[in-house]
Amino acid sequence: MRTTIDLPEDVFRAVKMRAVQQGSSLKELITNYVRLGLSDPSGSGVASERHRRPPPVAIRKNSDRAPSRALSNKQLNKLLEDEEVERVLKLSAKPDERT
């Protein structure tokens, strides 16, 4: 089901970064967060330790190649900011200048 929610900018960026770090989509990550919150019997919104899942493990698709080097949070943030800047520039370009 599709819905729209408004998140504070800092929360959205944090969730977006976490999705990149875990190699999952934003939709998957937010769905997991909502499920964890709903699984809390106290209704406090904080899942108990027994309900938490272990962090994902990177599995190489090509075992003959070394795994990619991990990026720092600063490097990931820079990549995301560069993508956003590129999108804004494309949207603000005149229609005949867009590629």
Cβ density class 43-55: b for 16+ within 10 Å, e for less: eeeebeeeeeeee
CB within 8 A of 46, min separation 6: which ones?
37, 40
Average pLDDT over residues 15-30: 89
Q: How many domains does the chain have?
A: 2
* Percent of the chain with pLDDT strictly greater than 90: 4
Judge whether 19 and 26 are in contact, CB under 8 Å.
Answer: yes
Q: Which of 28, 29, 48 is nearest to 38 (CA)?
A: 48
17 assigned to some structural domain: yes
Q: How far apart are CA 89 and CA 28, in angstroms?
A: 29
86: containing domain: 70-99
Judge whether 37 and 45 are in contact, CB under 8 Å.
Answer: yes
Residues 37 and 10 both lie in one domain: yes
Q: pTM of the entire structure?
A: 0.41
95 assigned to some structural domain: yes
Judge whether 1 and 34 are in contact, CB under 8 Å.
Answer: no
Q: Place 51 in a pLDDT band, splitting at 50, 70 and 90.
A: low
Cα distances (angstroms) measured from residue 41 to each of 1, 29, 45: 24, 21, 9
Read off the pLDDT of residues 77-99 as tens digits, 9 standing for 90 and up. Answer: 888 888 988 888 888 876 665 55
90 assigned to some structural domain: yes
